[in-house]
Chains A and B, each alone.
Chain A
């Protein structure tokens, strides 16, 4: 492991000033002829790479205990399901796990917890699991944090998977950190790209530092290595007709089924159109000056048979409900066509839509990062372009039935 070392003999007022202005997190201070790095440091290592030579250096520190990576084998996917009906995010993760497993030759595992799941578990073999480990007990009929976390823990102790992938659903985002903390190991949220090293380190890539930056994250000395991935980031593998592989029943000590939390009632949510499922989307951002102007985007969306979606500031400003938000704190979409209007395209927003097949962006700022990912870049005034486009659509085209 590496830590930052300040070489005070190389620090004077001038080098200190340079380092202070270099640090994007305001973590460096200089008082009483001494340079200090505060807790605001995010280890971007800018001071090492770009600072005055030798002023701040990296120092290798030996890890107290080093993990034996050979003891940990397999890439496991936590199965998100409701009464045996498997969530698509699980199938997407199995597809990715299969791809990653080719690098190390590890098996792909699925971990399924539920009641009467022996039959539905077989379905997972078709999507790439070599083994499906099932914890099948009436106590698991409904999701409850504590017994589910206990089963998860038991699975890790017995099977020792090297990597664990969990869908970033509300359940996954509650369960994965609970279990990762139990093993004092790393967890990387909302990965947008995953790669595997030959030494079994999982390379986890995600937007970071709250900015237009991607970080490549590794868990070098802990196992298992946990990550969550959102729905619609990866592709499902085509299901196999006659898969090999087996379903392995697991048992958990009865006292581990106890729960301090009790489920009192379940309320089904009305099925509503989710923007994650939309194939055509019109997304609006801060380029709109007044809430009333959104009607023009709505009209365009209606003409294109599209769903209307928005950026985070639009939700924060109360223009839209949170379900319409695209991005890391909203939904991920994987549309055939997405038209963005007045969206600058922060990396958090882009992470939620960049896999879309066709991105057409309208923005007045030619420097807007949205143009880095757009397939069609329109630098211009949406207030002039959109009404004109609506006029063309009204008279010019009929909507195809199947998009």
Chain B
């Protein structure tokens, strides 16, 4: 069974803000981490391959430093990692990112299953998986809680559809976005990390793609554009409750009572 896991490196902190004085964006610290939701997809992939044989190929699109995320996936049990990186990918929106990933997947090779996390913690769109599946013309399911009855032909996915849960038979090749909390992701193995070099991650660029027309990628390939960015609106009519802790507690109580919450 050949499985591709799509992962992303995300900022380690969510504290990006607009500096009110200079109007610049500031991000505290430059640390980054593997998107926490991807851990469930990696764990699912590694467990499947342990049980049924095959390979787990980790794939990520991002700048050079995203290699770290792929190394982490390898240390969790992925057989190899591929980083898709090119200056032409800058400014990509959902559609352009999905198209880039679908091109990269064609390059990585044939697959039975593509696994993704539920969403990333920086973009938070939860849409890239479904768009990648459309570009590859394979069926997909989001919010998958468990996989079972795995055969050569396909699998059964437990799909969370809000009001109910559907057991769906999904034929291979397919793309599945795993829900959060569906398993306990293993820790990256230090032993594997010692064994592999940084060159364990393969780099592919636009020139490696079937479609290497620059205008299909990055900002040029993105139908949506950010017109402006601004800080969230502030509430102007704010009442500040001051005093010692005991006084504050009493004032809160009186406020709640006055507003008939108590």
- Residue ranges of A at the interface with B (Cβ–Cβ < 8 Å): 1-4, 22, 24-27, 36-44, 46, 49-50, 61, 64, 82, 142-143, 145-146, 169-171, 173-178, 180-182, 184-190, 203-204, 207-222, 228, 260-269, 280, 304, 312, 315-316, 321-322, 328-329, 336-337, 346-348, 350, 354, 358-360, 362, 369, 371-381, 384-386, 388-389, 391-393, 396-400, 403
Chain B residue at smallest Cβ distance from A192: B232
- Of B86, B98, B126, B180, the residue contacting A189 (CB under 8 A) is B126
Question: Which residues of the partner chain B approach A360 to less than 8 Å between Cβ atoms?
Answer: 252, 255-256
Question: Which residues of the partner chain B approach A38 to less than 8 Å between Cβ atoms?
Answer: 63-64, 85, 87, 90
- Of B139, B165, B262, the residue contacting A304 (CB under 8 A) is B262
**Total residues of chain B contacting the partner, CB 8 A:** 106
Knowing A43-B90, A44-B229, A186-B93, say if A348 contacts B63 (CB, 8 Å). Answer: no
CB pair B140 A145 closer than 8 Å: yes
- Whether a CB of chain A sits under 8 angstroms from the CB of B52 is no
Stretch among B24-32, B69-77, B106-114, B194-202 lining the A interface: B24-32
Chain B residue at smallest Cβ distance from A305: B261
- Of A173, A359, A389, the residue contacting B253 (CB under 8 A) is A389
CB pair A211 B130 closer than 8 Å: no
Chain A residue at smallest Cβ distance from B23: A50
Instruction: Give Cα distance in the complex from A359 to B261, angstroms.
Output: 12
> Closest CB of chain B to A205's CB: distance in Å?
9
CB pair B24 A46 closer than 8 Å: yes
Question: Which residues of the partner chain B approach A214 to less than 8 Å between Cβ atoms?
Answer: 229-232
Chain B contacts with A in 50-103, Cβ cutoff 8 A: 61-65, 85-95, 98
CB pair A264 B95 closer than 8 Å: no
Chain A residue at smallest Cβ distance from B102: A181
User: Looking at chain A's contact residues, is the secondary structure mostly helix, strand, loop, or mixed?
Assistant: mixed
> Closest CB of chain B to A25's CB: distance in Å?
8
- Of B26, B88, B141, B219, the residue contacting A261 (CB under 8 A) is B141
Chain B contacts with A in 123-172, Cβ cutoff 8 A: 123-131, 133-135, 139-143, 156, 160-171
CB pair B14 A43 closer than 8 Å: no
Chain B residue at smallest Cβ distance from A174: B142
CB pair A261 B169 closer than 8 Å: yes
Report which residue of B15, B85, B123, B130 has the largest number of chain A beta carbons within 10 angstroms of its beta carbon.
B130
CB pair B94 A187 closer than 8 Å: yes
Instruction: Give Cα distance in the complex from A189 to B98, angstroms.
Output: 14
CB pair B224 A372 closer than 8 Å: no
CB pair B62 A40 closer than 8 Å: yes
Number of A-B contacts (CB under 8 A): 339
CB pair A146 B139 closer than 8 Å: yes
Q: A213-B18, A262-B169 are in contact. List 4 more A-B contacts (CB 8 A).
A: A39-B87, A170-B143, A354-B232, A403-B260
Can you report 12 A-B residue pairs in the complex whose CB atoms are below 8 A from each other? A142-B166, A177-B128, A185-B223, A186-B93, A213-B18, A216-B230, A218-B225, A219-B223, A219-B225, A261-B169, A322-B180, A376-B239
- Of A22, A37, A180, A261, the residue contacting B87 (CB under 8 A) is A37
CB pair B226 A44 closer than 8 Å: yes
Instruction: Give Cα distance in the complex from A146 to B253, angstroms.
Output: 54
Question: Which residues of the partner chain A approach B135 to less than 8 Å between Cβ atoms?
Answer: 181
Question: Which residues of the partner chain B approach A398 to less than 8 Å between Cβ atoms?
Answer: 262
- Whether a CB of chain A sits under 8 angstroms from the CB of B237 is yes
CB pair A400 B260 closer than 8 Å: yes
Instruction: Give Cα distance in the complex from A304 to B245, angstroms.
Output: 20
Knowing A38-B64, A38-B87, say if A211 contacts B15 (CB, 8 Å). Answer: yes
Instruction: Give Cα distance in the complex from A263 to B255, angstroms.
Output: 52
Knowing A39-B89, A304-B262, say if A178 contacts B131 (CB, 8 Å). Answer: yes
Chain B contacts with A in 203-220, Cβ cutoff 8 A: 215, 218-220
- Whether a CB of chain A sits under 8 angstroms from the CB of B16 is yes
Question: Which residues of the partner chain A approach B163 to less than 8 Å between Cβ atoms?
Answer: 82, 268-269
- Whether a CB of chain A sits under 8 angstroms from the CB of B250 is yes
Instruction: Give Cα distance in the complex from A304 to B218, angstroms.
Output: 50
CB pair A145 B257 closer than 8 Å: no
CB pair A388 B16 closer than 8 Å: no
CB pair B24 A304 closer than 8 Å: no
Question: Which residues of the partner chain A approach B26 to less than 8 Å between Cβ atoms?
Answer: 24
Instruction: Give Cα distance in the complex from A2 to B227, angstroms.
Output: 11
Knowing A39-B62, A174-B141, say if A348 contacts B232 (CB, 8 Å). Answer: no
CB pair B95 A184 closer than 8 Å: yes
Question: Which residues of the partner chain B approach A221 to less than 8 Å between Cβ atoms?
Answer: 223
CB pair A26 B63 closer than 8 Å: yes
Instruction: Give Cα distance in the complex from A212 to B234, angstroms.
Output: 12
Question: Which residues of the partner chain A approach B241 to less than 8 Å between Cβ atoms?
Answer: 376-378
CB pair B161 A143 closer than 8 Å: yes
Ranked 6 nearest A-B pairs via Cβ: A211-B16, A210-B122, A388-B249, A384-B245, A186-B223, A397-B262
Instruction: Give Cα distance in the complex from A261 to B15, angstroms.
Output: 41
CB pair B127 A187 closer than 8 Å: yes
Instruction: Give Cα distance in the complex from A215 to B165, angstroms.
Output: 34
CB pair A264 B25 closer than 8 Å: no
Instruction: Give Cα distance in the complex from A265 to B159, angstroms.
Output: 10
CB pair B252 A385 closer than 8 Å: yes
- Whether a CB of chain A sits under 8 angstroms from the CB of B10 is yes
CB pair B30 A210 closer than 8 Å: no
CB pair B234 A373 closer than 8 Å: yes
Question: Which residues of the partner chain B approach A37 to less than 8 Å between Cβ atoms?
Answer: 87, 90
Question: Which residues of the partner chain A approach B183 to less than 8 Å between Cβ atoms?
Answer: none
Knowing A145-B139, A174-B142, A267-B165, say if A213 contacts B231 (CB, 8 Å). Answer: yes
CB pair A261 B170 closer than 8 Å: yes
- Of B16, B220, B222, B255, the residue contacting A213 (CB under 8 A) is B16
Question: Which residues of the partner chain B approach A379 to less than 8 Å between Cβ atoms?
Answer: 240, 242
> Closest CB of chain A to B133's CB: distance in Å?
7
Instruction: Give Cα distance in the complex from A143 to B30, angstroms.
Output: 43
CB pair B25 A24 closer than 8 Å: yes
Instruction: Give Cα distance in the complex from A337 to B240, angstroms.
Output: 17
- Whether a CB of chain A sits under 8 angstroms from the CB of B17 is yes
